[in-house]
Structure 1
Amino acid sequence: MADRSIVMMSGLATRKAFDDHLFAAFTERTGVEIVPVYDPTVALLRRLDAGETFDVMIAATPSFDDLVARGVVAPGPRPIVRAGIGLAVARGAAHPAIGTTDEFVAALASARSVAYSQTGQSGIYFVELVTRLGLAHVVLPGATALEKGFTATALESGVADLAVQQLSELLYVAGAEIVGPFPDELQKWTEFSAGTAAASAGNADVAAFVEFLGSAEADEAYRLTALEPVSRVLTS
C-alpha cells in the first residue's frame, strides 16, 4: 500500500469507471492510492452500522441525509453521476424488443428467469415495478434473486436469461450484452454522490479526490461506462 491512501466505499454502479480509468489517473497524479470497498448502498450502510470506517463514500444521494444528520458524513456530499436501469442477455443471445411498455412487459413475461439484486437500487425498484405492472406473480417466483453483486453473472452461468441492473453494472460483465435501457416511462434514474467522512473532512488528499470525481476528466470516464455526469444533466 502507498504511504498515502484513501479508503473509498462505493456502490457497484461506478465501479467500472473507477477500476478502468479514475483510480490510475488520480494515483499517477497525486501518489495517493485508493483502497476500494464495493457493495450496494444498502450493504454499505450495514457495514457502517457494524463499525467499518471510510474516507469517501459513493452512494445513492438520498442515503446521505441520515448519515449527515448522525455526524458520520460531513455536510455537503457532492452529486457526481446518475445511472439508469437496463436489461441484458448472455453474449450472442437474441435481444428482445423492450422499447415500449408493452414490449418490455412481454419480454419479462416470456423470460425463463430474470436476475436482479435484492440489495441494489435497481433490484429494489424492479420488484416495485413488476408489482405495479401486475407481473409480480409471473416474474418473481422464477426470478434469480442475488443478494448483491453483478446480476449479469447469472447470464454467464445460464441460470437466468435476462438480467436487470444499472446499465454501468451490466456493462461490467464480459459475458453479457446490454439490450437497452428501460422504456422512458418506466425508467428510474438514481443519482450518486461523493460524501466525505466527518473524521476525514480536514484531509487534503480526500478533498482533492472528491474534487477530482467532479472534474471534466472524471465526466469522460463516466460517459464511457454508461453513466451520466450530473454536470451534463444540469446543463442539458
Structure 2
Amino acid sequence: MRNVLHSLALLACASLGSTAHAEQLRVMTSGGFTAAYQALGPKFAAATGNTLDTALGPSMGQAPEAIPNRLARGEKADVVIMVGYALDELIRQGKVDPASRVELADSRIGMVVRAGAPKPDIGSVEALKKTLLAAQSVAYSDSASGVYVQNQLFKRLGIDEQLKPKASMVAKIPVATEVAKGNYQVGFQQVSELLPVPGVSFVGKLPESVQSVTRFAAGIPLNAQHPQQAKALLAYLAAPDAQQTVQATGLDSVSR
C-alpha cells in the first residue's frame, strides 16, 4: 500500500505541477466501474489532498440519473466514467475532450441466484439455455449488459419467445438486490455490479462464446473546472498499481 501511495503522489505532482492546489473533483461514474472507483478513489484523495464528489448513474438510458442526461441538463463534472461507446458518443457530441479518453477495464456479464438457493449450471451454452428455460423468472439491468441480454443473448440461444413472459428489465437499481429479495430467481448484470450485493450467490460468468465484453473508459468534459487534477485521477485509475484492485472487483484489466 505504501508503494502504491508513493507512486500516486509522484504521479499527481508530475501531473499537477508544484503550484497546484487541492480541489474538489466532481466525478460521475456508472455501475460497472463503481466498485473499483470506490476502492481506489480514497487512496487518490489521501495522496493528493483532493476530494471527490461522486454522482452515480448509468451510462445510457432514460433515467434522469444517467450520465448523458445529467450533462444535458447542465450538471458539471470533472470526470465521467462510463461504458466506452457511450463515452465516445459524448465525445462525438463535443461534450468530452477526445484527448482525455482513458481505457480503464473490461467487464463481463455474470449471473446470481438468491443466497442459499442451488447454483444452476451455466458452464456451457447448452447448460445456460436449459437453466434459463427452467427458471421461473429472469432479471437483467437497464444498462449495457441488460440491453445485450434482452436484444441478443436470448435470440442467440434461440429462446427469445420462451423468455418473454418471464424476463424483466430492472431499472435504476442493482439486479442482485431484487434477486436477494426473492423477486426473481436468477439475475444477470456485469460481474462487478453483482459481487458487492449481499443476499445473493454468484453463479459464474456467461460462457465466452455468448459473452458480451463491455469496455469501461473515462474522460474529462470540455467544461471541467479542474482538468489537471482530473487528468491525475484518470492516470491513477488506469495505472498498473491499480490493477489488483480493479481485478478484485470482478473486472478484467485492459491489455496495454
TM over 0.5: yes
Q: Output the CA distance in 1 between the equivalents of 2:230 and 2:106.
A: 22
Instruction: State whether residues 23 and 226 of structure 2, in contact with CA within 8 Å, keep that contact through their aligned partners in structure 1.
Output: no
Q: Output the CA distance in 1 between the equivalents of 2:164 and 2:24.
A: 43
Instruction: State whether residues 201 and 207 of structure 1, in contact with CA within 8 Å, keep that contact through their aligned partners in structure 2.
Output: no
Q: What residue number does 1:74 align with?
A: 97
Q: How does 1:98-109 map to 2 (within 5 A)?
A: 98-109=122-133
Deviation at 1:150, TM superposition (A): 0.8
Letter of the 1:22 counterpart:
L
Determine helix, strand or coil for the equivalent of 2:25: strand
Instruction: State whether residues 39 and 149 of structure 1, in contact with CA within 8 Å, keep that contact through their aligned partners in structure 2.
Output: no
Deviation at 1:210, TM superposition (A): 1.0
Q: Output the CA distance in 1 between the equivalents of 2:26 and 2:193.
A: 21
% identity of equivalent residues = 31
Determine helix, strand or coil for the equivalent of 2:105: strand
Letter of the 2:57 counterpart:
D
Instruction: State whether residues 74 and 201 of structure 1, in contact with CA within 8 Å, keep that contact through their aligned partners in structure 2.
Output: no
Determine helix, strand or coil for the equivalent of 1:178: strand
Give the alignment's TM-score, normalised by structure 2: 0.84
The one of 16, 21, 31 equivalent to 2:49 is: 31
Give the alignment's TM-score, normalised by structure 1: 0.91
Q: Is the counterpart of residue 6 in structure 1 residue 30 in structure 2?
A: no
Q: Structure 1 residues 202 and 23 mapped into 2: Cα distance closer, same or farther (>3 Å)?
A: closer
Q: What residue number does 1:190 align with?
A: 214
Q: What residue number does 2:79 align with?
A: 56
The one of 143, 152, 156 equivalent to 1:132 is: 156
**Further displaced range: 25-34 or 44-53:** 44-53
Deviation at 1:50, TM superposition (A): 2.4
Q: Which runs of 5+ in 2 are unaligned?
A: 1-21, 61-65
Letter of the 2:194 counterpart:
L
Deviation at 1:203, TM superposition (A): 2.7
The one of 57, 69, 78 equivalent to 1:46 is: 69
Letter of the 1:183 counterpart:
P
* Length, aligned pairs only: 228
Q: What residue number does 1:65 align with?
A: 88
Deviation at 1:202, TM superposition (A): 6.2
Q: Output the CA distance in 2 between the equivalents of 1:177 and 1:140.
A: 24
Q: How does 1:223-234 map to 2 (within 5 A)?
A: 223-230=247-254, 233-234=255-256
Deviation at 1:199, TM superposition (A): 1.8
Deviation at 1:216, TM superposition (A): 2.0
Query: Which protein has the larger Cα radius of gyration, Structure 1 or Structure 2?
Result: 2
Instruction: State whether residues 10 and 39 of structure 1, in contact with CA within 8 Å, keep that contact through their aligned partners in structure 2.
Output: yes
Instruction: State whether residues 111 and 161 of structure 1, in contact with CA within 8 Å, keep that contact through their aligned partners in structure 2.
Output: yes
